[in-house]
């Protein structure tokens, strides 16, 4: 079900956003770019230009470490290299063992899997073709019905534009309505047999596909059982090979753990000396960092102010865009409703006393100063309008039209239908 909006109030709100958005953008950008600087840094321009050079603990530590021993790092690198080499050898051995394991595929040759799969594939292709043919038949029926309605709609329009009495117009329109129903019924009857035949073929192919799927499932279960037996046998052989390698890895692990423990002790001594030097450097760094603390506070407050103004601008733009999208979606839903109900268009909005906004079915186009008639929900004629295609519409949606004639004691309402006059 399409959502119905309260158009007048929504239009008023959107007009307000549209008229004030540009000025609000200028104000916000002005605040973001100028006001924070003038407010917080009016006396600090010289301070910003002459920032003190910060003390780098990282640079000091790097300089201090240049004279330290490289023994610990050499030991760690050697340990990593030996670990990688042993891992590669074990992996290579296991892969060579697995490559020697072979499956007995001859046991599966009598199962005709290839034939089952090919048959199922052919049925799927045939099903796709029949479904496409069914869709084409349904589309052809709908196109022919749409064509019939369009032809009779034009004939009705001609009758309405003729200089006839109201009684004569109603009589002719009723005759057109009966002829239209008869033509549509004939078209539906003509396509119904073709559609039923296609649906019957689809049911038959689906039954064949289900039978192949059941047979393929049974065959797959048998294959899985034989494959599982082969895998289990191969797994036992691999387990035996892995047990031998695990013994070798355990010996290597014990050797490397002893070497690593020795390296840890030497590295711990190095870290102790480094921490003492780092503490001395940190004391010196604290004194130099306090010199720049006041400038950091000013910068932080400036960043917070700029962020607040930016967030306000983003929120305002988001609300405007959401409201705009809602109205555009409403207009688009009228176009879809017109297509679904085979109407030429609807009244979408009353712009003022003399103009309306019309949403046309996308199948129809009009030129500037073309005319159309408006009918209410009871199919009663109430007004005549003239299209102003050169006039700009809200959000480039729909067509503006001026009211040329309004029936006495009649009023134009939203969703009133239109019929375009032929020239």
| 98 shares its domain with 149 | yes
Residue 105 and residue 254 share a domain: yes
Q: HSE of 106 in the Cβ direction (CA atoms, 13 Å)?
A: 2
Residues 153 and 233 in one domain: yes
Answer with the one of 291, 306, 321 that is the final residue of a domain.
291
22 and 75 in one domain?
no
Range of the domain at 126: 52-291
Least confident of 33-37, 208-212, 369-373: 33-37
User: What's the pLDDT at 105?
Assistant: 46
SS3 166: helix
CB neighbours (10 Å) of residue 304? 10
Count of domains for the chain: 3
* Same domain for 148 and 103: yes
| Gap between the Cα atoms of 28 and 172, Å rounded | 65
Q: Are residues 274 and 167 in the same domain?
A: yes
Does 183 share its domain with 231? yes
Place of tokens 């780092």: 278
Within-domain flag for 41: yes
Per-residue pLDDT tens digits for 80-89: 787 777 777 7
- In angstroms, the CA 321 to CA 344 distance is 30
DSSP symbols for 379-423: --EEEEEEEETTS--GGG-SEEEEEEEE-TT----TT-EEEEPP-
Inside any domain, residue 62 = yes
Is residue 42 located within the same domain as residue 66? no
Residue 174 inside a domain? The answer is yes
Let me know whether 242 and 311 are in one domain: no
**How high is the mean pLDDT of the chain?**
76
The highest-confidence range among 217-226, 239-248, 307-316, 348-357, by mean pLDDT, is: 348-357
Identify the domain boundary among 282, 302, 329.
329
Same domain, 250 and 188: yes
- Contact status, residue 177 vs residue 190, Cβ threshold 8 Å: no
Q: What is the pLDDT of residue 41?
A: 43
DSSP string of 66-91, one letter each residue: GGS-SHHHHHHHHHHHHHHHHHHHHH
| Contact yes or no for 241/99 (Cβ under 8 A) | no
Does the pLDDT at position 317 exceed 60? yes
As beta bridge partners, residue 371 has 386
Mean pLDDT of 220-246: 79
Cα distance between residue 391 and residue 356, in whole Å: 12
Residue 336 lies in a domain: no
287 belongs to a structural domain: yes
Output the pLDDT for position 399: 93
Phi and psi dihedrals of 112, rounded to 5? 55, 40
Question: Per-residue pLDDT tens for 11-65?
Answer: 554 455 445 545 555 554 454 444 444 444 444 444 445 544 554 555 655 655 5
Find out whether 111 and 219 touch, Cβ atoms under 8 Å: yes
On whether residue 321 sits in a domain, the answer given is yes
Nearest to 387, CA basis, from 364, 408, 411: 364
Residue 387's CATH number: 2.40.10
């Amino acid at each position: 079900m399409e959502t119905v909006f309260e158009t007048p109030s929504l239009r008023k709100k959107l007009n307000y956003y549209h008229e004030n958005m540009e000025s609000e953008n200028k104000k916000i950008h002005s605040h973001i770019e100028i006001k924070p600087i003038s407010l917080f840094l009016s006396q600090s321009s010289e301070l910003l230009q002459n920032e003190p050079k910060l003390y780098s603990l990282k640079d000091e530590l790097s300089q201090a470490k240049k004279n330290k021993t490289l023994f610990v790092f050499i030991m760690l690198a050697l340990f990593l290299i030996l670990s990688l080499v042993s891992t590669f050898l074990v992996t290579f051995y296991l892969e060579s063992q697995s490559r020697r394991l072979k499956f007995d595929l001859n046991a599966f040759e009598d199962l005709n899997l290839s034939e089952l799969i090919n048959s199922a594939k052919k049925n799927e292709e045939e099903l796709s073709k029949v479904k496409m043919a069914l869709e084409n038949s349904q589309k052809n029926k709908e196109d022919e019905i749409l064509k019939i309605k369009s032809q009779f709609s034009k004939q009705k329009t001609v009758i309405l534009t003729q200089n006839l009495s109201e009684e004569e117009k109603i009589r002719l329109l009723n005759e057109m309505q009966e002829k239209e129903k008869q033509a549509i019924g004939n078209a539906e009857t003509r396509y119904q047999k073709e559609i039923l035949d296609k649906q019957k073929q689809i049911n038959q192919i689906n039954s064949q596909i289900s039978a192949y799927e059941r047979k393929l499932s049974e065959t797959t279960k048998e294959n899985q059982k034989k494959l599982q037996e082969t895998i289990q046998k191969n797994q036992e052989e691999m387990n035996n090979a892995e047990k031998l390698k695990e013994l070798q890895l355990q010996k290597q692990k014990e050797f490397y753990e002893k070497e690593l423990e020795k390296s840890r002790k030497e590295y711990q001594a190095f870290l102790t000396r480094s921490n003492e030097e780092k503490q001395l450097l940190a004391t010196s760094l604290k004194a130099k960092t306090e010199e720049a603390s006041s400038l950091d506070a000013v910068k932080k407050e400036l960043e917070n102010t700029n962020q607040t103004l930016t967030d306000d601008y983003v929120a305002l733009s988001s609300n405007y865009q959401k409201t705009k999208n809602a109205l555009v979606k409403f207009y688009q839903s009228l176009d879809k409703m017109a297509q679904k109900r085979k109407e030429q268009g609807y009244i979408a909005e009353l712009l003022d006393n003399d103009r309306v906004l019309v949403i046309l079915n996308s199948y129809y186009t009009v030129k500037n100063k073309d005319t159309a008639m408006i009918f209410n929900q009871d199919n009663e004629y109430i007004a005549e309008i003239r299209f102003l295609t050169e006039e700009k519409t809200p959000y480039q949606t729909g067509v503006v039209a001026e009211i040329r004639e309004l029936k006495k004691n009649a009023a134009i309402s939203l969703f009133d239908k239109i019929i375009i006059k032929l020239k």
